Amino acid sequence: MRAGGTDGAGGSEATTYREALREALREALGADERVFLMGEDVGRYGGCFGVSLGLLEQFGPDRVRDTPLSESAFVGAGIGAALAGMRPIVEIMTVNFSLLALDQILNNAATLRHMSGGQVGVPLVIRMTTGAGRQLAAQHSHSLEGWYAHIPGIRVLAPATLQDARLLLAPALADPDPVLIFEHGTLYNTAGNLDPAVHAVDLDHAAVPREGTDLTVVAYGGCLSKALAAAQELAGDGISAEVIDLRSLRPLDDATVVGSVRRTHGRAVVVDEGWRSGGLSAEISARITEQAFFDLDAPVERVCSAEVPIPYARQLEEAALPQVSGIVAAARRVVG
């Protein structure tokens, strides 16, 4: 198993994705007095998804700050704090609310290093919940990571495993430029074991949680578990699927993806909960085609969400999202 693989190791304590994120926050706050957390309900309430529960009591209101309901204001305050030498972690409750701060993220955080001729950086971390699958309907089920991965000047991360949830925050805080972390809402309750031998993760390289020889399945965030389940089902049919966890969406690790496609006989399936048109799946497919065209044995397949506002009804929501059955069907098509 390569770095960043499936969570689990003998002798380690069970934890959840939510608890892993909380421990990462606790470690960061304890290690550096410049670090502070702010956002809506992160303090007294413990976070809308319970990630920051108990941190206010441990670190106090100067380090864990509840903010008014104004994303533009508190993201802007985070940018100012970062410019002044602090290391703010800003929590935006869900990705759809980040649109209210898009001017701050795009026109300020992402551009200030360039606009100042390199004189100032914005070492800011913004965390937000993303994704569907929880019956929260159209306004709270967006997967807009691809929008943000389009923006120069920021790094975009999507931790899909307990290990990454626990370990990605430290290098994100060490980055001299803005980092956006997208936490898929369906992952918070997932449980498993952290590998005590792994103390750091590499932000620059995708992970390979499952090796294979017949095709490559590229996924990230909430779709990684579906890709792994599909690979397991395909194995029962004698098809060996290699699964790539992108981990970083900007910059993309072309080398790992393209190298995998070349090893698996030029067959690839890209899974993306975002919409198909102009999305991350399109970008990844284009890069595979540009860099490995003569290695391809079949057209790159894409499994994406239906291009509709996410429905509320459970069966309609499931029908709109990428599912294991769709990934398996796409894999069988490319293998032929």
| Interior/surface letters 160-192, b for 16+ CB within 10 angstroms, e for the rest | bbbbbbbbbbbbbbebebbbbbbbbbbbbebeb
In order of 112, 114, 120, 305, the CA distances from 108 in angstroms are: 6, 10, 11, 31
Read off the tokens for 316: 């309609």
- Dihedral sign (CA 68, 18, 25, 62): positive
Task: Provide Rg for the chain, Cα atoms.
Answer: 20
CB atoms within 10 A of CB 44: 10
Q: Which long-range contacts (CB under 8 A, 24 or more apart) does 289-297 make?
A: 291/254, 291/258, 292/258, 292/261, 292/262, 292/266, 295/261, 295/262, 295/266, 296/261, 296/266, 296/267, 296/268, 297/265, 297/266, 297/267, 297/334
Helix (H), strand (E) at residue 103? helix 102-103
Identify which of 188, 329, 259, 177 has the alpha carbon closest to the alpha carbon of residue 2: 259
Instruction: Tell me which residue has tokens 């200030």.
Output: 112
Give catalytic residues, as residue numbers: 71, 140
The Cα–Cα gap between 217 and 176 comes to: 32
Side chain identity at 283, as an amino acid letter? E
- 129: which DSSP letter? E
Question: Using an 8 Å Cβ cutoff, are 65 and 38 in contact?
Answer: yes
Read off the tokens for 198: 């792994």
